[in-house]
Amino acid sequence: MASLDIGIDLGTTSVIVYMHGKGIILREPSVVAVDTRDNTVMAVGEEAYEMIGKTPAYINAIRPLRDGVISNHILTEFMIKEFLRKTSKSLMIKPRVAICVPSSITDVESRAVVQAATNADARKVFLVEEPIAAAIGAGIDIKEANGVLIVDVGGGTTDVAIISLSGIVRSDSIKVAGNTFDEAIIRHIRQKYKLLIGERMAEKIKIELASVFEPSENEKTTIKGRNLVTGLPQKIEITQADLYPALLECAMEIVASIRRVLEKAPPELVGDIYSNGITMTGGGCLLNGLDKLIASHIHVDVRRAEEPTDSVAIGTGNVFDYISDLSDGFVNASTYQH
Ligand SMILES: Nc1ncnc2c1ncn2[C@@H]1O[C@H](COP(=O)(O)OP(=O)(O)OP(=O)(O)O)[C@@H](O)[C@H]1O
Ligand SMILES: [Mg+2]
């Protein structure tokens, strides 16, 4: 029954669960709060996210998937189990679960993910690579012999891939994505204004003000932090143009990654991409001007998927339609159990 197929986008920033026929059924930050006195988990998801930067010394709010790799197996497993428990407790039959994993994931890490889902009562577990899920979620028919270029800008990694005939033909993955822009903002404000700001404030500035294409002197925002010299709280005003050079440097690494993939690609497929354009997915692709910057350097049209933040989850939930066709980027992970 199709409604018992679940797709999980196990992202660095957030975990999104999509159920075939129902849509998005869970969206929570990928954060776990741990009590370091006895190593017990205090909160998972939204509740743990609220604790970031505000915890007493004995509570640690951890992102177990930081930078697109599983930096903490036990907590990742805990998180998967908790989210699956939340979403599937009302189901009468055990679901088939497809999980989208970062492309740099190791074999050992894959096993940990599969084990976690199996322990959480999944009937069958499949692993999907992020570019494949992103393409399906962006509404692309990946079965065609027609090259498409996907650029998924997440929180921890940017994945660039050319897909044709249900497989990944060429790809590149870099650890430059949404978080990198936040870090660049923090660094810039610290160096130029001697003001220390937190990661949540930096993300807010990125979403509300930042631009990596033709920045304006007139777009401004007020930011609050702690002055590093006086140690006191301080408010300053910054402009879009002020942040631009620091952000451009990171954005150009994404452009370079796209260029590397195109340089290695068979000419026929490059021709397809010239006609089809580039499709961007992932929350990080919403950065103001990133589409225009890429188009101006690569000289092809760039479009954002309709719901970029949800594309991977939607594609993971719908990957079951392609089970018989997928040659690459799709692993029947349930075999790991035997
Ligand atoms: N409007 C916006 N403008 C700029 N950046 C945004 C916007 N909305 C979300 N983001 C950024 O998108 C990133 C999260 O994207 P996404 O949810 O696709 O990541 P993820 O899938 O969890 O990470 P990964 O794919 O690397 O594992 C964050 O860095 C967030 O700040
Ligand atoms: Mg992602």
pLDDT score at 336:
39
pLDDT score at 335:
38
- 196 falls within a domain: yes
Nearest alpha carbon to residue 327 among 130, 99, 165, 100? 165
Which ligand number lies closest to the CA of residue 178? 1
- CA–CA gap between residue 232 and residue 195 (Å, rounded): 10
pLDDT score at 338:
27
- Ligand 1, atom 15, residue with closest C-alpha: 283
Nearest alpha carbon to residue 308 among 133, 152, 102? 152
Pairing assessment for the beta strands 148-153 and 96-101 based on DSSP bridges: unpaired
Q: 211: domain CATH number?
A: 3.90.640.10
Lowest mean pLDDT: which of 46-50, 97-101, 106-110, 240-244?
A: 106-110
* Stretch 173-183: mean pLDDT: 95
Q: Is the CB of 177 under 6 A from ligand 1?
A: yes
Question: What's the 9 CA to ligand 2 centre distance in angstroms?
Answer: 7
Helical pair 240-264 and 178-193, crossing angle rounded to 10 deg: 140
For the cut 90, the answer to whether the pLDDT of residue 225 exceeds it is: yes
Nearest alpha carbon to residue 121 among 71, 81, 154, 65? 81
Is 228 within 8 Å of 193 (Cβ atoms)?
no
Q: Does residue 163 share a domain with residue 145?
A: yes
Burial class (CB in 10 A: 0-12, 13-18, 19+), 141: exposed
- 231 falls within a domain: yes
Q: Is the CB of 289 under 6 A from ligand 1?
A: no
- Ligand 1, atom 9, residue with closest C-alpha: 283
Q: Please, what's the b/e burial string for 292-310 (b: 16 or more CB within 10 A of its CB; e: otherwise)?
A: ebbbeebebebebbeebbb
Mutate to test the pocket of ligand 1, among 113, 174, 286, 304 (most ligand atoms within 8 A of CB): 286
Q: Is the CB of 68 under 6 A from ligand 1?
A: yes
Tally of structural domains, the chain? 3
Q: Cα dihedral sign for 133, 134, 136, 137?
A: positive
Q: 304: domain CATH number?
A: 3.30.420.40
- Ligand 1, atom 4, residue with closest C-alpha: 287
For the cut 60, the answer to whether the pLDDT of residue 3 exceeds it is: no
- 100 falls within a domain: yes
- 60 falls within a domain: no
Q: Does residue 195 share a domain with residue 124?
A: no
- 58 falls within a domain: no
pLDDT score at 2:
47
Distance of CA 121 to the CA centre of its chain: 25
- CA–CA gap between residue 6 and residue 100 (Å, rounded): 11
User: For residue 274, what are the domain limits?
Assistant: 141-176+253-308
Is 330 within 8 Å of 315 (Cβ atoms)?
no
Q: Does residue 290 share a domain with residue 171?
A: yes
Question: What's the 168 CA to ligand 2 centre distance in angstroms?
Answer: 17
pLDDT score at 67:
63
1 vs 82, which has greater pLDDT? 82
pLDDT score at 234:
96
Q: Does residue 94 share a domain with residue 12?
A: yes
- Ligand 1, atom 8, residue with closest C-alpha: 283
Q: Is the CB of 147 under 6 A from ligand 1?
A: no
Q: Does residue 100 share a domain with residue 16?
A: yes
Give the tens place of pLDDT for each residue, 153-166.
Answer: 999 899 999 999 88
For the cut 70, the answer to whether the pLDDT of residue 114 exceeds it is: yes
Which ligand number lies closest to the CA of residue 156? 1
* Stretch 294-303: mean pLDDT: 98
Q: Give the DSSP per-residue string, 207-244.
A: HHT--SSS--SS-EEEEEEEETTT-SEEEEEEEHHHHH
* Stretch 38-50: mean pLDDT: 90
Q: Is the CB of 155 under 6 A from ligand 1?
A: yes
Q: Does residue 195 share a domain with residue 226?
A: yes
Which token pair is 251? 């954005």
Ligand 1: nearest atom to the Cα of 68: 27
Give the tens place of pLDDT for each residue, 261-272.
Answer: 999 999 999 999
For the cut 80, the answer to whether the pLDDT of residue 143 exceeds it is: yes
pLDDT score at 334:
43
Q: Is the CB of 315 under 6 A from ligand 1?
A: no
Q: Does residue 210 share a domain with residue 280?
A: no
Strand partners for 35: 40, 59
- CA–CA gap between residue 243 and residue 221 (Å, rounded): 11
Beta-sheet strand order (sheet of 233-239): 195-196, 220-227, 233-239
- 61 falls within a domain: no
- CA–CA gap between residue 239 and residue 219 (Å, rounded): 6
Report the share of the chain in percent with pLDDT over 70.
92
The mean of the pLDDT values for the chain is 89
Give the tens place of pLDDT for each residue, 188-212.
Answer: 999 999 999 998 899 999 999 999 9
54 vs 10, which has greater pLDDT? 10
- CA–CA gap between residue 265 and residue 299 (Å, rounded): 16
Distances (CA, A) of 220 to 37, 66, 226, 242, 251: 44, 30, 19, 9, 21
pLDDT score at 337:
36
* Stretch 117-126: mean pLDDT: 85
Is 19 within 8 Å of 1 (Cβ atoms)?
no
Q: Is the CB of 29 under 6 A from ligand 1?
A: no
Q: Does residue 321 share a domain with residue 284?
A: no
* Single pTM value for the model: 0.91
Nearest alpha carbon to residue 236 among 254, 212, 209? 209
For the cut 50, the answer to whether the pLDDT of residue 99 exceeds it is: yes
Mutate to test the pocket of ligand 1, among 10, 13, 247 (most ligand atoms within 8 A of CB): 13
Q: Does residue 150 share a domain with residue 198?
A: no
Q: Is the CB of 151 under 6 A from ligand 1?
A: no
Nearest alpha carbon to residue 316 among 2, 4, 10? 10
101 vs 164, which has greater pLDDT? 164
For the cut 80, the answer to whether the pLDDT of residue 328 exceeds it is: no
Q: Does residue 280 share a domain with residue 159?
A: yes
pLDDT score at 68:
60
